[in-house]
C-alpha cells in the first residue's frame, strides 16, 4: 500500500480532496496531520476536527486521524470520540521533532523515556475503542533509543508501526539510517510501514529490494515534489513527459482554485500558495530564477499571475 504522510499545513483536507480528485487511484489512505492535545486540552484538538469530519472526507483519500499528546485520559477521550464518529483506527504521533513539542516529552521527545510510553499505553489501550497505530522515529537523540521501546510495543495490540528512520534531532536532514532500521525489523512483532525520503520510483524500488518483507510505504515530501510519484511507483503510469506535465499542471491549477475559494484573507491565500509553490515547483521544468519570481510577488493577484505565466510558457514549449 502507498500511504500519504501527515504534513501539518500541507496535507489537510483541501489538499487531500484535490489530490484524490486528480489522482483517484494513486494512494490507499492518508494519516491526518496531528490533532494536538496541547496542555492536555481536548478543546484544542477538537478545534482542528474539521479536517477529519467523516462527511467532508467522503470525496477524498480515506484518512486515519493522528493524535499528538501524552495525557492518557484526554487521549482516550479524543480517540473514542473519533471512533464514535466512524474511525476504527487512530494514529499516535511519537515522531514529531519540533523542539517546543519534544521539550515536553511529546512527539519524538518521549522516545528517550520508554517507561512513559509503557505507562501511557497501559492506561490507554484497555479503554480504547479504535485500534491504535503508531508513527515514530528511531529516537530523539540516538537511533538506538528504539531498542528499549520495541519490547514495550510488542506487549500491546497495535495495528501497525510506521518508522521514519531518523532521530528527532536530525529533523528532516542528514541520511535515513537504514542499517538501524534493518536491525529493528526482525524484533518488532507488528506490521511495519516504512517512511522517509522516497522521492523517485528508484528510491522505492531500492527499499523494496532491501526490505521485501515490507509492503506498505508512506510518502510525504515526494508527493509534493512530484504529484505523479505514486502512479509512477505503481507502474500504472507510462513515461510521457507531455502528458505528465498536463496532469501536473491540472493538479496545480486545481490546488490554486481550492486555495482561492477559501474564506480567508488574500494575504493568507498568498502565503499558502507560496508554501505549496516552494515544493511543487520541483515537478516543473523551470529554473530557480523562474520559480523565484513567484516568491517575490508582493500580493496574491501577482503571485497567481506569475504562476500562470510560468505554466503557460511550459505548455507552449510542448
Ligand atoms: C511540513 C511538515 C509537516 C509535518 N507534519 C507532520 C504531522 O503532523 N504528523 C507526523 O506524524 N509527521 C509530520 N511530518 C513528518 C512526515 O509525516 C514524514 O514523516 C517526513 O516528512 C518524512 O517523510 P518524507 O521523506 O516522505 O517526507 C511533517 C513533515 C513536514 C515536512
Position in ligand 1 atom list of the atom nearest CA 198 = 26
- The angle that helices 146-154 and 114-124 make with each other, rounded to 10 degrees, is 20
Assign 39 a pLDDT band (cuts: 50, 70, 90).
Answer: low
- CA distances to 97, 134, 168 from 103, in Å: 10, 20, 11
Nearest CA to ligand 1 atom 6: 7
How much is the mean pLDDT over the chain? 95
- Ligand 1 centroid to Cα of residue 171, in Å, is 10
- CA distances to 42, 80, 138, 171, 262 from 166, in Å: 30, 31, 6, 8, 36
Phi/psi at 166 (nearest 5 deg)? -130, 170
- Ligand 1 centroid to Cα of residue 7, in Å, is 5
- Ligand 1 centroid to Cα of residue 220, in Å, is 6
Position in ligand 1 atom list of the atom nearest CA 221 = 27
Each residue's pLDDT tens digit, 196-252: 999 999 999 999 999 999 999 999 999 999 999 999 999 866 778 888 999 999 999
SS3 6: coil
Residues near ligand 1 with C-beta < 6 Å?
5-10, 33-34, 66, 93, 95-96, 135, 164, 172, 195-198, 219-222
Each residue's pLDDT tens digit, 179-197: 999 999 999 999 999 999 9
Nearest CA to ligand 1 atom 29: 7
- Ligand 1 centroid to Cα of residue 90, in Å, is 17
pTM (global) more than 0.85: yes
Each residue's pLDDT tens digit, 108-138: 999 999 999 999 999 999 999 999 999 999 9
Amino acid at each position: 500500500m502507498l500511504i500519504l504522510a501527515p504534513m501539518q499545513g500541507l496535507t489537510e483536507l483541501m489538499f487531500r480532496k484535490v489530490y484524490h480528485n486528480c489522482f483517484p487511484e494513486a494512494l490507499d489512505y492518508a494519516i491526518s496531520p496531528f490533532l494536538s492535545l496541547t496542555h492536555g486540552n481536548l478543546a484544542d484538538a477538537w478545534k482542528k476536527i474539521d479536517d477529519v469530519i467523516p462527511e467532508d472526507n467522503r470525496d477524498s483519500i480515506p484518512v486515519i486521524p493522528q493524535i499528538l499528546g501524552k495525557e492518557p485520559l484526554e487521549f482516550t477521550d479524543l480517540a473514542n470520540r473519533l471512533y464514535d464518529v466512524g474511525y476504527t483506527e487512530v494514529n499516535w504521533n511519537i515522531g514529531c521533532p519540533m523542539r517546543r513539542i519534544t521539550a515536553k516529552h511529546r512527539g519524538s521527545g518521549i522516545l528517550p523515556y520508554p517507561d512513559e510510553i509503557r505507562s501511557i499505553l497501559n492506561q490507554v489501550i484497555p479503554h480504547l475503542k479504535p485500534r491504535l497505530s503508531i508513527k515514530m522515529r528511531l529516537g530523539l537523540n540516538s537511533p538506538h533509543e528504539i531498542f528499549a521501546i520495541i519490547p514495550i510495543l510488542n506487549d500491546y495490540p497495535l495495528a501497525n508501526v510506521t518508522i521514519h528512520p531518523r532521530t528527532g534531532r536530525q529533523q528532516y536532514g542528514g541520511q535515513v539510517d537504514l542499517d538501524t532500521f534493518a536491525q529493528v525489523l526482525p524484533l518488532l512483532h507488528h506490521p511495519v510501514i516504512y517512511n522517509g525520503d522516497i522521492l523517485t520510483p528508484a528510491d522505492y524500488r531500492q527499499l523494496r529490494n532491501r526490505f521485501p518483507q515490507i509492503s506498505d510505504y508512506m510518502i510525504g515530501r515526494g508527493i509534493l515534489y512530484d504529484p505523479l510519484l505514486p502512479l509512477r511507483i505503481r507502474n500504472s503510469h507510462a513515461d510521457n513527459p507531455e502528458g505528465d506535465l498536463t496532469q501536473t499542471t491540472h493538479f496545480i491549477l486545481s490546488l490554486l482554485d481550492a486555495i482561492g475559494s477559501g474564506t480567508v484573507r488574500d494575504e493568507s491565500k498568498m502565503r499558502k500558495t507560496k508554501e505549496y509553490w516552494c515544493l511543487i515547483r520541483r515537478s516543473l521544468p523551470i529554473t530557480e530564477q523562474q520559480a523565484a519570481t513567484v516568491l517575490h510577488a508582493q500580493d496574491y493577484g501577482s503571485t497567481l499571475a506569475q504562476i500562470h505565466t510560468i505554466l503557460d510558457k511550459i505548455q507552449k514549449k510542448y
